[in-house]
């Protein structure tokens, strides 16, 4: 397989993953994804932002999230996100630290 075909197939797989998480399974919470898989929709948006930066394209975290979510992140949260219980929040702290880095205090 040549490089261009591989890139196109990888891009198609990414679009399918995005569609699955955003359209088919918007009910699956980001905290559950992070706790089980070590990444979530926000990670995918961050990876998008990082890939853009590698190509000299400046993009803020909010801009990357809007590209990924298809709307402002706060709008998506209001429509889809539910409160996480204390057990999920504790598991998230561990998963985030292991997969992303230490949580920063506001």
Three-class SS of residue 14?
helix
Tell whether the model's pLDDT for residue 103 goes beyond 90: no
8 pLDDT higher than 70: yes
For the entire predicted model, the pTM comes to 0.82
**pLDDT one-digit tens code per residue, 15-37:** 999 999 999 999 999 999 999 99
Fold classified for 3-92? SMc04008-like fold (1.10.3340)
- The pair of three-digit structure tokens given for residue 41, joined into one six-digit string: 């929709």
Domain extent listing, the chain: 3-92
Q: Which of 82, 93, 98, 96 is nearest to 29 (CA)?
A: 82
Tokens linked to 39: 């990444």
């Amino acid at each position: 397989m040549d490089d261009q075909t591989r890139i196109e197939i990888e891009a198609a797989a990414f679009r399918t993953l995005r569609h699955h998480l955003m359209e088919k399974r918007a009910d699956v919470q980001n905290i559950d994804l992070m706790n089980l898989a070590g990444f979530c929709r926000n990670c995918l948006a961050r990876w998008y932002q990082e890939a853009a930066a590698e190509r000299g394209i400046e993009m803020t975290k909010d801009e990357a999230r809007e590209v990924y979510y298809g709307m402002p992140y706060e709008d998506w949260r209001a429509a889809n996100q539910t409160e996480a219980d204390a057990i999920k929040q504790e598991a998230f702290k561990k998963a985030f630290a292991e997969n992303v880095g230490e949580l920063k205090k506001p």
